[in-house]
Structure 1
Amino acid sequence: MTKWHKTEEQKLVSACVHICNLIEGSKVCGGCFRTTDEIAAWRKLDVEARRAILQQAELRQQDYPQ
């Protein structure tokens, strides 16, 4: 399993997929689709908050087709 295809458990530790780049005109990472605020807060969040962010990031990805 590569770092770009993480299990749910691995994503909860770190959602980063090592393709970090902000989408032009936004504060959204084009790799993990988290916002810069979500990325900055990640280490302080509990598991449920991290799951919620992962769900939002998945939905957000649909707004930014590649």
Structure 2
Amino acid sequence: MVSSNPVNILVDLIRFNTTNPPGNERECVYHVKDILEKSGIETQIFYLDERRPNLLAKIEGKGESP
């Protein structure tokens, strides 16, 4: 289950071993993807290396200036 509490999210992220080398971020990327998608944020994953996916998240604007 994915938490919506920022502290719990941070604790979960810190638990992932993404030390480089080897830089195996795959599990962490998919965890972040789940968090974002459950919040209604569109995501895509791109691969240059199977162990090191890149996550793109997109939040649509309203087309209004701040």
Query: TM-score scaled to structure 2, two decimals?
Result: 0.31
Asked which structure has the greater CA Rg, the reply is 2
- Decide which structure has greater strand share: 2
